A and B are shown apart, each in its own frame.
Chain A
Amino acid sequence: MNTLRLYARSMAILIKSQLQYPLSFLMQTIAQLVMEGGEMMALILLIDRFDRLNQWGPGDLYFFFGLMSVSFYLTEIFGRGVTGNFPYMVRTGQLDTVLLRPRGVLTQVLCSAADPRRITCIAVGVVSLVIGSNLAKITWTPVKILLFAETIFFSFWLILGLFMIEAILCIHSVKSVELANTLTYGGRSACEYPSDIYPRPLRVLFTVIAPFALVMHVPASVILDKPLFSWPKWAAFVTPLSGLILFGVMYLLFRKAMRFYRSTGS
């Protein structure tokens, strides 16, 4: 598709320009590795002291952590334009330049930034997944692999949708973006752990509003052979779609926000 080709070319050019400062790039990439490694270390220490979390063993916990890491940073690598760049674009009037080009606004925003430094964070996530898989003795079948791939795919849309909340608030000049970010990044931190450990209000939050539980935890628990709910197994293939639904809702709100922008000017 033409749009994908544009995206690929934009990415190539962005990465090329970032590599112009190789030392800084390397340092930042290593810093990312250390940071994510630090977060994993906290998990390791907790497991060392407590052994288990309710019915979830060490392997399960590493698996959940790794799943969130990989999904989140994958989305950040490709979707950085929405969180990092868009507020800047609105503030500086660069959004007008975007509107002057014959492409969709979201397309151009996504093409405007990439964050390849997060690759080391994904590496940490993968390590966590592997450790988790071994410790939990997951028996990988083609069905499970498919389910896993599907989870990652729809997590991307879920997280991208959550990123868009900030973009939408930006256009409406809402000063306190903190609330929106609490949902996105707070959700990320909370849902590194299986959501059934949380009290009811939080569980509802992560099922209905920011459906991390539906997109990630239900399939993950099926892969670990410890299903969260007594739903039939095939339900795990359906729940991740909620990520796409959230994205759809956010996309419509985004278009509405752009209409607002165009009638009120900057």
Chain B
Amino acid sequence: METQYRGAVLGGLICQVFFGIVLIAIYRALYAGKPQEIPLSHVTTYVWLQQAFFRMLLATDPELQDKIRTGAIAYDLCRPLHLYSYYYARIMAQKLTGSVLRALPMLVFAALLPEGWGLCLPASVPALLLSVLGLILGLFCVSALENITMAFTMRTLDPRGMQGMLNLLMMTLSGNILPLTLFPDSWQRVITLLPYAQLLDTPIRLYTGEHAVSRAPEALLIQISWTILLIIIGCAFWRTNQRKLVIQGG
């Protein structure tokens, strides 16, 4: 529960594991006092999956920030590229490469932890497959989202404050700071519909079986819809940006 410092710690493996253990210790103590409907093992699984794929959440391109500030973005705009897809692919690639290498060792470690501390088995084989699908769709969705925020920050020449707040939104509403399953039920109904929850919350719930296999198409449809919507908005943003670009030089 340390939004602002994750960046400082650079998401190192040991750091992620440490945070995972701390969070789970807290939840275990809480559960001991007041057991919940949702089994503890689902919560621990939630935490580990969030930690493992943490890299996918945050804004990943400091290079672009610099480009915007120095005005070098103008070069990109002169190139015969479809800018939107170029940056989309770029963002997605960075998220993928950043996550997969870290996720695997962490998931192995979490699977080896004792009951009540570690990763539990998926609810069923279909659940596992669906959650992987959900993760992939979630990746598309969050990349589209980030593309928009990037186009947005291109307009504001000093993106630091904006960036911080957007990161916070992402981390809170995706279930990273606190598993969405522990939010008040009324809140959950709304938050799970937002695009932020589509990255990790949806696949995780598919994995643990909270989204029953029968409900999976519904969940996946929400992901797809958001992805399409965000892509459309993103394209529009980039197009207007290309038209009125203010270059701040020297």
Contact = CB atoms under 8 A, between A and B. Distances in A.
Contact between chain A and chain B defined by CB under 8 Å: yes
Interface of A: 21, 24, 27-28, 30-32, 34-35, 38-39, 41-43, 45-46, 48-54, 83, 176-179, 181-182, 185-186, 188-190, 192-193, 197-199, 202
B8 A181 contact: yes
A50 B43 CA distance: 14
B25 A197 contact: yes
B12 interface: yes
Q: Interface majority SS on B: helix, strand, loop or mixed?
A: helix
Given A35-B3, A39-B3, A181-B8, A46 B165 contact: no
Contacts of B4: 32, 35
B160 A188 contact: no
Contacts, number: 116
Contacts of A181: 5, 8-10, 15
Interface residues on B, range: 35 or more
Contacts of B177: 38-39, 42
Given A42-B178, A45-B178, A46-B182, A54 B158 contact: no
B39 interface: no
A34 B3 CA distance: 11
B162 A178 contact: no
Given A21-B158, A42-B1, A189-B1, A199 B15 contact: no
Nearest to B117: A199
A35 B168 contact: yes
Contacts of B153: none
Nearest to A192: B1
B36 interface: yes
A35 B171 CA distance: 10
A52 B34 contact: yes
Q: A-B pairs with the 7 shortest C-beta distances?
A: A178-B12, A27-B161, A185-B5, A189-B2, A197-B29, A50-B30, A28-B161
A116 to B, nearest CB: 14
Nearest to A23: B158
Nearest to A198: B25
Contacts of A185: 2, 5, 8-9
B125 interface: no
